[in-house]
Each structure stands twice: as C-alpha cells, then as structure tokens.
Amino acid sequence: MGPIPSGPGFTVPTQEPAVQSNHAASTLDPNGRPPASDPLRPDPPASRLPALVTALAILLVFSVVAISSVVADRRDRLVSPPPRVSQASAVPVDANSIEFTSADGAGRLVVRGHAWTPADSAVVPTYVHLKVQVELICTSGMISYDPYAFQAFDASGRLFELSEADTAADVLESGTLAEDERARGSLAFDLPQGDVTLLMTDEATQTVTALKIAD
C-alpha cells in the first residue's frame, strides 16, 4: 500500500459505524428498541420475604397455643380437691335411723323402739299412748336437744304435741351434744294408733328431720 494521501484538498473520510451482529440486531424490536426482557439473560432470583413472613406467622401461632396449654395445665393442678365429708361409720344405717344437719352441726336420730298402751284421756277416748325410745348422736359440730323439740303426726297429717301425762323416769332430757356424744330417752304422745312420723325441730321451730315409725 502506498503512503496515505494528504494535502489541502484532501478530506479524511468519516468512519462508518460498525455493523451490528445478527444477534444484536435480532434483539431489537421493529422500532429499534430492546425488548422488555432478554431471553438469554437469566431472571433475577425470587424474593424470599413472603415465605419468611409465613414461617414467622406459623411459629407465632404455635408458640401461643403451646403457652396457653402450659398455663391451663398449671391452673388445673392448682385447683384444690373437694373437701371430704366425714361420716359416722359407727352408726348403722337402717329404716329406724336418719342423718340430719342443723344450724350448729350434724347428727343422727335413731328410734330404738316404741310401744302402744291405753291412754288416760277422757277427752278423746280413741287416742292411744305411744312411747318412743330415741337416741341422738352428734357426728360433727354441736347438737342441742329438748323433748319439746319433738312432735308426731299421723297418716292423715294431724300434728300432735308431746304428752304432758308422760312422767317416765327415762324421759329425754334437755342438753347439748358435742362431736361423738350421744343421748337417750323416751318421748310420749297421745294419738290414734297407726303409722306415725316423728318430727324434730330446732330452737327456731324449723324442721330438722323426720323419721317414720311403722306400726
């Protein structure tokens, strides 16, 4: 090649732009702009934030459930067991005895026996004298007793007071029983012979208990 021509009238030709490769040209859209994404360029990695938030939410729910279960279990263990009710096992349970509870204690009324005899009553000749042997047993607290705390009513529901004619030596006296103490005595009523229910009241004339005496 010869020397590069030069001179006042010579102009250096402008260099033509390099021709884009077929690959570069193929990445342009018809308007000459690059496409939204390059199929040959790998996509950016997906964000892990949603999965992390979901995992934290599940862990939080599990923690709340676990803590609630532990607290509930501790509360159940702290609940005191129900108190035991003491019973007088030495006193047999049969048709002639009944347990009762008063304002000051608890006990048992026992009928040890009864007998009918002619009544010395000119007012009501059909009445018969009933004598009842009773026993009072205090099982807890204190039990106050008195012969006039007892009444009797017959099958028709009529109520009869204690007989004033009873002068037996073994008549039930008045007193107070402490736990495991007992008292015995007799009660007498003038009434028609038949099925009778013995009624016991307290000092406020409130019914404490009642026990049927089968004839």
- What are the sequence ranges of the domains in the chain? 97-213
CA distances from 10 to 2, 100, 142 (A): 16, 140, 142
Residue 186 and residue 170 in contact, taking contact as beta carbons nearer than 8 Å? yes
Structure-block tokens of residue 160? 């009869």
Q: Which pLDDT score is estimated for 149?
A: 95
Question: What's the pLDDT score for residue 60?
Answer: 74
Sign of CA dihedral 137, 140, 146, 147: negative
Tell which residue, 54, 53, 185, 165, has the closest CA to residue 109. 185
Q: What is the pLDDT along the chain (215 residues), one digit of tens a residue?
A: 555 555 555 455 555 544 444 444 455 555 655 555 555 555 555 667 777 777 777 777 667 666 766 555 555 444 444 333 333 334 445 789 999 999 899 999 999 999 999 877 656 778 999 999 999 999 999 999 999 999 999 999 999 999 877 667 899 999 999 999 999 999 999 999 999 999 999 888 899 999 999 76
The domain defined by 97-213 folds into Immunoglobulin-like (2.60.40)
CA distance 135 to 197: 16
CA–CA distance, 130 with 127 (Å, rounded to integer): 9
